[in-house]
Structure 1
Amino acid sequence: MTTLQPAAQTPQPNADSLLSLPQRTAAPQSWMVRVSDAKYYWYDLAAGIADKPDIRDPIGRYMRRMQFELDATAEQRHLFFAVTRPRVRFDVAGMVQWGFFSLKLTLPLLLGVEQAKDHITVELKVPFAATMKKPSVTLTEHFISLNWGGLVEVFSVHDLLQTYAHTLKLPSKVAYVGQTRDPDGRLGKGRLPAMHKVRAQFGDDYDTLLLVLGTTVEVSCAEGDPADHELNAHPQAADALHAERSDMIEAALIRYFEGSNPRLHGTEERQQRSERVVAVQAANHLVQYTIDLELPEIGYYNHLCSEFVSSARRHLLSCFIADGQAQVAPMPLPAAAKGNKA
């Protein structure tokens, strides 16, 4: 007697597994990348937080809010720059001076490890909730607190220099390029090894800031942007496309700001990135991508430079993949329209 065995079942992919794969285009693509939003954080403060700040104190609330915002970036695929600037502190032993019949406030500063004396003059604006015409001023080495009666404003020394016009020539130098997405949230907790290396390299002569960037990608393709495809609305597919684009932008910005041999990125990481950009380029039929790096609404910290790049408010980059690397060339900026500021 012969017993018939049931035929082996061929595993069938479920709907979720199909939808999690991005739907591709066969036509060539080119990308236009722009910065949609940007924000600075003083990383040295975040890295130096040992205990939870006291939220009953205005400076404690400032620190706690910064922690929350940095922790939130770990869930997003944002790019970030580690930016170094020459050390600057408020001179708590110096004199705070008010202008006559105005809200012009002159604050004493100490620059560099040699603590050279300087100052900044700012013209304050009365906030809506103020109950006093002129605030009382409290300085610490890192912060200024303005007590207006109805509320207390807190600014770090870098907030102040970023917000108000001044004549200090302190360059913002990009030392490292990375991404914020991290299940362990190490960036906001001050535990990212690469950031430890940046701080060790520059030492006490410099302050280390984080510049977190949001970007938009405009895709030129005869078949349209794959992100607009109905099936790519699935969260996993959308995230996969976002990850690919973020990785390509990151690779180009590393090459531009850190050079062809980025010392703060290990050999294994660089090999993985090389394999990744080749695969992403092939999957997307990506011919070329342009990055327009101009920081919106970032105040007076809007110029960037690096060891390899001169300081500029706007960096326009032409990028493509060759030999397993992002190849990047600066492009001339378009002429400003008449009547517009350059």
Structure 2
Amino acid sequence: MSGDDDADEPSLEELGIGALFEEAPEPFLDLVAPPPDELAELLPLGPERGGVPQTWVVTVADAKFHWYDLIAGFPPVPDIRDPVGRYLRRMQFDLEATSEKRLLYFAVNRPLMRFDPSRSVSWGFFSLKLTVPLLVGVEGKKDTLTIELTVPFAATLKKPSVVLSEQFITLNWGGLVEALSIHDVLQQYPNPYHDTTEVQYVGQTRDPLGRLARARVLGVQRVHQRHSEDRDMLLLVQRMMVAVDPPDGDPAALPANQNAVAADLLLKDRVDLVECALIRYFEGPEMHGRSDKEAEVRRQRVREVAQANHLISFRIDLRLEDAGQYHALYSRHVGVSRNHVIDCRVADGEVIVERVAVADPPRA
């Protein structure tokens, strides 16, 4: 990649967030091994990685979308007495919790979608079919969507009262109040919008500073700055499972690796390498928007992990059993699919990726 790519990116001052990043190290520096003196006390607890060649199969255990635009403007603390405020606080808690875990995330864009509070909702006769007005795309084209509600267990009303804002619909069932964003509605209910999801940035959630939940990851902020006027931006957070197949079993199962330090270091090896592979797959070899320093740090980390684990190759399978239209992923370097399967191998610090041909299921 070339450092010249950064010339077209907005500066921190242009983003209006320069001061927030002055003391924050780059997230990718977590890939750099700490100095030997910091490791001295942990060495007896270090992992045994085994001495035989390994192959890995990486799958997605679970995945969840969060609407990044709702936190990107550094909003005030939500009012938890309000249903939308409670929704925003739960999302904040969810994202804050990921900073303690080794999860992966994609920063993704989708077409603008909004509710239209200037128009009224309507009900079907003798049913819970609710028709809500929408504004579609940058041009705000008027449309409607009919969804069929299900009475929740805690409801005391047969039909809820409905409040619309541009981003949320609130359903008051008496004993229960639900707040759903427009993107929740489009994921949970059948609809005619078969838009695809563009992956712009790949990252890892583990971060003692918890920057992702506070919208302070520089790479993600730059993506948001470029697309905030014409696209919605979401975070797809995924927990990955890594099955390791050496002849004598997964080193993680060895008695010496049952302590928390060893288990975490083994998991770090695996998630770091999968992150680097997915960056290469979705962002391409140039890693547009990332610095030469980050590229070199990642190359060194790829070498370390591959050598320490005697890794031959690995496969990443991003398929989900109930994948909907939001999981139809693509990027500037990868065609659209809900079934991304990637074969990977390491050569001189680079992850060589090759997409495996897998047929997409028919649209629901």
Asked whether the two chains share a fold, i.e. TM above 0.5, the reply is: yes
Partner residue in 2 for 1:129: 154
Partner residue in 2 for 1:326: 351
Q: Please say which of residues 117-126 and 271-280 is displaced more in the overlay.
A: 117-126
Partner residue in 2 for 1:170: 195
Cα 1:307–1:56 shift into 2, 3 Å = same
Partner residue in 1 for 2:122: 97
Q: Cα deviations across residues 131-176 of structure 1 (Å, max 9, x unaligned)?
A: 1111111000100000111111110000000111111132111100
Q: Please say which of residues 165-174 and 32-41 is displaced more in the overlay.
A: 165-174
Deviation at 1:323, TM superposition (A): 2.9
Partner residue in 1 for 2:291: 266
Give the distance between the partners of 2:94 and 2:327, measured in 1 at CA: 21
Aligned pair 1:181/2:195, yes or no?
A: no
Give the distance between the partners of 1:295 and 1:261, measured in 2 at CA: 28
Partner residue in 2 for 1:284: 309
Aligned pair 1:110/2:135, yes or no?
A: yes
Give unmatched runs, 5+ long, in structure 1.
Answer: 1-13
Aligned pair 1:240/2:265, yes or no?
A: yes
Q: Please say which of residues 196-205 and 155-164 is displaced more in the overlay.
A: 196-205
Aligned pair 1:307/2:332, yes or no?
A: yes
Deviation at 1:195, TM superposition (A): 1.2
Q: Secondary structure at the match of 2:214?
A: coil
Q: Secondary structure at the match of 2:50?
A: coil
Give the distance between the partners of 1:148 and 1:96, measured in 2 at CA: 16
Cα 1:249–1:289 shift into 2, 3 Å = same
* Residues 136, 146 of structure 1: 8 Å contact kept: yes
Aligned pair 1:317/2:345, yes or no?
A: no
CA RMSD of aligned residues (A): 2.0
Deviation at 1:35, TM superposition (A): 0.2
Give the distance between the partners of 1:328 and 1:287, measured in 2 at CA: 13
Give the distance between the partners of 1:187 and 1:62, measured in 2 at CA: 18
Give the distance between the partners of 1:69 and 1:286, measured in 2 at CA: 33
Deviation at 1:49, TM superposition (A): 4.3
* Residues 42, 261 of structure 2: 8 Å contact kept: no
* Residues 339, 359 of structure 2: 8 Å contact kept: no
Give the distance between the partners of 1:73 and 1:242, measured in 2 at CA: 15
Give the distance between the partners of 1:296 and 1:180, measured in 2 at CA: 24
Q: Secondary structure at the match of 1:212?
A: strand
Q: Secondary structure at the match of 1:38?
A: strand
* Residues 115, 134 of structure 2: 8 Å contact kept: yes
* Residues 198, 329 of structure 2: 8 Å contact kept: yes
Give the distance between the partners of 2:49 and 2:265, measured in 1 at CA: 12
Deviation at 1:341, TM superposition (A): 10
Partner residue in 1 for 2:224: 199
* Residues 165, 300 of structure 1: 8 Å contact kept: no
Give the distance between the partners of 2:209 and 2:319, measured in 1 at CA: 30
Give the distance between the partners of 2:163 and 2:255, measured in 1 at CA: 56
How many positions carry a matched residue from both structures? 326
Give the distance between the partners of 1:187 and 1:290, measured in 2 at CA: 27
Deviation at 1:262, TM superposition (A): 1.2
* Alignment equivalent of 1:35, drawn from 51, 55, 60: 60
Which AA in structure 1 matches 2:331? S
Q: Secondary structure at the match of 1:294?
A: coil
Give unmatched runs, 5+ long, in structure 2.
Answer: 1-38
Higher helix fraction: Structure 1 or Structure 2?
A: 2
Deviation at 1:247, TM superposition (A): 0.9
Partner residue in 1 for 2:244: 219
Deviation at 1:68, TM superposition (A): 0.7
TM-score between the two structures when normalised by the length of structure 2: 0.86
TM-score between the two structures when normalised by the length of structure 1: 0.91
* Residues 19, 231 of structure 1: 8 Å contact kept: no
Give the distance between the partners of 2:177 and 2:231, measured in 1 at CA: 29
Q: In terms of Rg, which structure is larger?
A: 1
Q: Secondary structure at the match of 1:314?
A: coil
Identity of aligned residues (%): 50
Cα 1:196–1:233 shift into 2, 3 Å = same
Deviation at 1:198, TM superposition (A): 0.6
Give the distance between the partners of 2:51 and 2:73, measured in 1 at CA: 50
* Residues 81, 210 of structure 1: 8 Å contact kept: yes
Give the distance between the partners of 1:62 and 1:341, measured in 2 at CA: 30
Q: Secondary structure at the match of 2:238?
A: strand
Give the distance between the partners of 2:188 and 2:200, measured in 1 at CA: 23
Cα 1:341–1:154 shift into 2, 3 Å = closer
Deviation at 1:70, TM superposition (A): 0.4
Give the distance between the partners of 1:74 and 1:51, measured in 2 at CA: 21
